Amino acid sequence: MAVWEFVQLVLTITMTYSLASQSCGNLTFHHLQSLDGHLFNDTLLSQRIVSDKVACLWWCFRDLQCNMVLHNPRSQRCRLYYSSVINGGVQEAGWQYYTVACSDFRVVNALSVMRNQTHVNVTCSNGFSYLPTTSGKCFHDKVPLDMGRCMQTLWIDPVPILKTPLPAPLSTGAEIIVQETSDGVGTPAIFLMNKDGSRVVFYLTVRWSPSYTVIYNTAADGAWRREVTSPSPVLTPNATSVLSIKITETQFLISGNDNTLFEVPRRLPLQETDTLQIDFKVIKRVQIKYS
C-alpha cells in the first residue's frame, strides 16, 4: 500500500504545469476554476505583492502552514491560507483559486504526517493532540474533506488565570484535569462558557467560610440558576491536588486525587461553550482529554 511522506523542505524549487494542477517543489496545487473570481478572508495567513503565479505558489510552498492560494494577476496580489475555503467569500474579479492536494496537505503544528489509502497518522508536538476540526479542509476529487489539526490540550505552569478557547468541542467522554494549589482565601473557579460569559455550561468553586462548601452552577443569558452544593473536600488549602471533571451523557463527575466526590447534572448543551477559564492561586498543569 502506497504511503506518502509529509512535505519536506527542499533547497531548489521546480515548477511543472498541466491543465488540472501545478506543482511547486513537492506540493501539488489544484486549480478550482469554479471558485475563481471570489475573495475569501477565513483562514488567511498573509498577503503580498508578487510578480506572477509561480512566485505566489512558491511563497505558499515556503510557508509550512499554507494549503491554499488566491492569486490575482491583474493586481499582482497573492493571498496565503492555512485551509481550503469554499463559502463566506465575496465576488471580486481576477482572483484564481489554487488548493494543495489532500496528499500534500500540511497539518498545522504537526511534526510529521504519514498517509496511506485509508487513514492519516499524525505526530503532534508535545502538549498537542490531533483533533478533528472543520477549520482544516483539503480537496479530493474537487470535494472538500475535513482534516484534523494538532491542537494544544496540555498547559504546564500557566498564569494563575488561564482563559483559552477550547481546542475542539467537548462531548461525552471528555475529561478536564487540573493540578492546582488553593490558599483557602481566594475564590478558585473553573468555567466552561461561551466567549462573552453569557452562557455558563459549567461553573465550579469553593466557599471557604463560614463552612467549607463546593458549589456548582450554570447561567443562561447572564442569569444564574440554583446552586448545587456539597461538603465533600474537593480542595485542600495550601496543598497541591489534582482535580478531574469527567463528562458523561447526563452528568459532570468531579473527583479530587482520584476520589469521586461530587456528581452534578448537565443542564445546558455542551455545544454552547467554546471557552475554558481556570482561576487558582497556583496552576501547575491543565489538560483536556478527548474521548
| Cβ partners under 8 Å of residue 108, min gap 6 | 65, 82, 136, 149, 150
**DSSP summary character for residue 157:** S
Whether 75 shows a pLDDT value over 90: the answer reads yes
Average pLDDT, the chain: 86
Percent of the chain with pLDDT over 70: 91
The rounded Cα 164 to chain-centroid distance in angstroms is 10
- Residue 257 above 60 pLDDT? yes
Instruction: Give the model's pLDDT for residue 6.
Output: 27
pLDDT value at 271 more than 80: yes
Per-residue pLDDT band for 15 (boundaries 50, 70, 90) equals: very low
What confidence tens digit (pLDDT) does each residue in 217-243 have? 999 988 999 999 998 888 888 899 999
Higher-confidence residue of 142 and 49: namely 49
pLDDT surpassing 50 at residue 200: yes
Cα dihedral sign, 58-61-64-68: positive
pLDDT, tens digit, for every residue of 80-108?
999 998 888 999 999 999 999 888 888 88
Of 24-33, 42-51, 184-193, 277-286, minimum mean pLDDT range: 24-33
Q: Which helix (H) or strand (E) holds 156?
A: strand 154-156
pLDDT at 17 over 60: no
All three cell numbers of 185, joined, read: 482565601
Give the model's pLDDT for residue 23.
67
The residue behind cell 482544516 is 136
Choose the weakest-confidence range: 14-18, 47-51, 153-157, 185-189. 14-18
Query: In whole angstroms, what is the distance from residue 3 CA to residue 117 CA?
Result: 8
Asked whether the beta carbons of 22 and 29 are under 8 A apart, the reply is: yes
| Cβ count near 258 (within 10 Å) | 7
Q: Which residue has the higher pLDDT, 258 or 285?
A: 285
Cell of 7: 512535505
Q: The pTM is what?
A: 0.76
pLDDT band for 126, please (50, 70, 90 cuts). Answer: very high
Angle at 233 between CA 256 and CA 201, to 5 degrees: 65
Task: Output 165 or 88, whichever has higher pLDDT.
Answer: 165
Q: Give the cell for residue 221.
A: 443569558
Residue 268: which residues within 8 A CB-CB, separation 6 or more?
Answer: 199, 200, 201, 218, 220
Q: For residues 146 and 84, is the Cβ–Cβ distance under 8 A? A: no
Q: How many CB atoms lie within 10 A of CB 288?
A: 22
pLDDT at residue 16 tops 50 = no
